[in-house]
Amino acid sequence: MADHTELRDFLTSRRARLTPPEVGLPWHTDGRRVAGLRREEIAVLAGVSVDYYTRLEQGRARNVSDQVLDAVAAALRLDVLERRHLFDLVRTTGRPSGSAPPPPAATAGPRLRARPALHALLRSLDPTPAVLHGPRLEVVAINRMGRILIDDFDAMPVAERNMARWMFLDPKAREVYPDWEEIAEQTVAILRVTAGRDTRDPALSALVGELSTRSDEFARHWANYRVFQHTYGTKRFRHPAVGEMVLSYETLHPAADSEFHLTVYSAAEGSPSEERMRILSSWSATPPDTAGSADGDGGAVDTSFPGVRDRSRTGSPDDRR
CATH number, domain with residue 282: 3.30.450.180
Output the pLDDT for position 105.
Answer: 34
Output the pLDDT for position 236.
Answer: 98
In a domain, 246, yes or no: yes
Structural domain harbouring 133: 116-320
* Domain match, 62 and 123 both: no
* Domain match, 59 and 162 both: no
As a whole number of angstroms, the distance between CA 35 and CA 58 comes to: 18
As a whole number of angstroms, the distance between CA 118 and CA 113 comes to: 10
* Domain match, 146 and 220 both: yes
In a domain, 100, yes or no: no
CATH (domain of 25)? 1.10.260.40
What is the total count of domains within the chain? 2
* Domain match, 137 and 88 both: no
In a domain, 173, yes or no: yes
* Domain match, 149 and 210 both: yes
In a domain, 57, yes or no: yes
**What's the full length of the chain, in residues?**
321
The amino acid at residue 69 is: L
Question: 158-185 pLDDT, tens per residue?
Answer: 989 999 999 999 999 999 999 999 999 9
In a domain, 111, yes or no: no
Helix (H, G, I), strand (E, B) or coil at 139: strand
In the β-sheet with 243-252, what is the strand arrangement from edge to edge?
139-142, 130-133, 261-266, 243-252, 232-239
* Domain match, 121 and 212 both: yes
Strand locations in the chain, DSSP E?
130-133, 139-142, 232-239, 243-252, 261-266
Q: Using an 8 Å Cβ cutoff, are 291 and 297 in contact? A: yes
* Domain match, 142 and 51 both: no
How many angstroms separate the most distant Cα atoms in the chain? 73
* Domain match, 238 and 278 both: yes
* Domain match, 162 and 32 both: no
The amino acid at residue 56 is: L
In a domain, 258, yes or no: yes
The HSE-up count of residue 56 (CA atoms within 13 Å, CB side) is: 27
Q: Using an 8 Å Cβ cutoff, are 127 and 116 in contact? A: no
* Domain match, 16 and 69 both: yes
In a domain, 105, yes or no: no
Nearest to 76 by CA among 33, 19, 29: 19
Q: Using an 8 Å Cβ cutoff, are 90 and 65 in contact? A: no
Task: List the pLDDT tens digit at each of the 321 positions of the chain.
Answer: 445 788 888 999 999 988 888 888 877 666 655 678 889 999 999 999 999 999 999 888 888 899 999 999 999 999 998 998 999 888 877 544 344 444 443 333 446 788 899 999 999 999 999 999 999 999 999 999 999 999 999 999 998 999 999 999 999 999 999 999 999 999 999 999 998 888 788 999 999 999 999 999 999 999 999 999 989 999 999 999 999 999 999 999 988 888 899 999 999 999 999 999 999 999 876 544 544 555 444 333 333 333 343 333 334 333 333
CA 282 to chain centre: 31
* Domain match, 39 and 172 both: no
End position of a domain, from candidates 93, 127, 143: 93
Element (H, E) at 202: helix 202-214
Q: Using an 8 Å Cβ cutoff, are 297 and 143 in contact? A: no
In a domain, 103, yes or no: no
Q: How far is CA 76 from CA 45, 169, 295, in A?
A: 9, 34, 42
* Domain match, 171 and 272 both: yes
Output the pLDDT for position 111.
Answer: 62
Q: Using an 8 Å Cβ cutoff, are 139 and 296 in contact? A: no
